[in-house]
Amino acid sequence: MTDSAPRASVVRIRGVDKQFTAGAGAVTALSGIDLGIEAGEFVSLIGPSGCGKSTLLRLIGDLTPPTSGSVEVNGKPAHQARLGREYGMVFQAPVLFEWRTVEDNVKLPLELLGMDRSERDARAREMLSLVELGDFARHHPYQLSGGMQQRVAIARALALQPDILLMDEPFGALDEMTRERMNSEVLRIWRQTGTTVVFVTHSIPEAVFLSTRVVVMSARPGRITRVVDVPLPQPRNEETREDPRYFRVVTEVREALRAGGGLGEEAPLASEERVAAEGGIG
């Protein structure tokens, strides 16, 4: 935990394997994963379905334990980081509670932390204006569009001012136009808050546009085949999407995916996504 490194390592994954027991045998979802993420980075995990990118995100969030190896967040085991509420999570679905208003959804993690009411109100207002939904505080989720709901989910994830934001294909369900707008939105929030972001996607343009580094993965077993640096200048905007350097990195990522067998072939193994969480109390 001593700060000997010049930049604080927010995530450190060493020699992680992950197996799921599925039916008769075990399925290896991840194999030999080593990855370090520095503070303030925006790292995308990209790969074909079944490559374990969502599982890797859940390992960082301690929502599923590794079979072997270690995951450290902020210099301590991921489990302690979760208990310390050191990260915010955004899922593909917004997962808003329909019985709560927009602002009460944002306040949920603050309630769990035991923050007092006036502080909660102020923080929720601040977060909603960060995602530019200040006018919709009293609305219910069903009154918002999909993109707006996802912005509420981001506001909620940021409410505890976490060191890391974990995003699991957050814009996968949105149309292309909304998705591009949300991408710019996320970059603005990232700049404003300075949070480290780990972002799972299977869109190459999205990964390149957003990230400082793109982690390319392959399936069966899921492993990291390449890490591509994205040397595009900040702040990025719509012009970035027309920059020749942008296309160069997109091509580089695409070739890395192809080399790993990631393109042209659909991996049928997507069961890992549902294995993680099961219904039933306790």
Partner 1 sequence: MTAAAPSVGVPVPPRPGRMLRFVRTLRYYVPALVVFVSVIAVWEVATRALDVRAFILPPPSAIGTALVENWGAGRWPLFDAARTTLLEAVGGLLIGTLAGVVVAFAVGRWMNARDAVLPFAVAANAIPIIAIAPIFNAWFGITNPVSKMMVAALLVFFPVMINVTRGLTQVEPSALELMRSYAASEWTILRKVRIPNALPYFLTALKVATTLSLIGAIVGEYFGGSTSVIGRVVVQSASSLRFDVTWAAILLGAIAGIVFYLAIVALERVLIPWHASVRGEEHG
**Closest distance between partner 1 and the C-beta of residue 99, in Å?**
5
257 binds partner 1 (CB under 8 A): no
Using CB under 8 A, pick the residue from 66, 147, 170, 260 that binds partner 1.
147
Binding piece for partner 1, criterion CB under 8 A, among 42-50, 56-64, 120-128, 254-262: 56-64
CB closer to partner 1, 143 vs 251? 143
Tell the residue number behind the tokens 């998705």, with chain if given.
179
**Closest distance between partner 1 and the C-beta of residue 122, in Å?**
20
**Closest distance between partner 1 and the C-beta of residue 36, in Å?**
22
At CA 131, angle to CA 126 and CA 135, rounded to 5?
Answer: 75
270 binds partner 1 (CB under 8 A): no
Please provide the DSSP assignment of 63-124 as one string: SS--SEEEEEETTEEHHHHHHTT-EEEE-SS----TTS-HHHHHHHHHHHHT--HHHHHHHH
Q: What is the distance between the alpha carbons of residues 244 and 228, in angstroms, rounded to a whole number? A: 16
CB closer to partner 1, 136 vs 199? 136
Q: What is the distance between the alpha carbons of residues 33 and 49, in angstroms, rounded to a whole number? A: 17
280 binds partner 1 (CB under 8 A): yes
**And the tokens for 170?**
């957050």
What is the rounded end-to-end Cα distance, in angstroms, of the chain? Answer: 33
282 binds partner 1 (CB under 8 A): yes
Give me the residues that bind partner 1 (CB under 8 A), please: 58, 61, 63, 82-85, 87-89, 91-93, 95, 97-99, 108-109, 111-112, 135-136, 139-140, 142-145, 147-148, 166, 274, 276-282
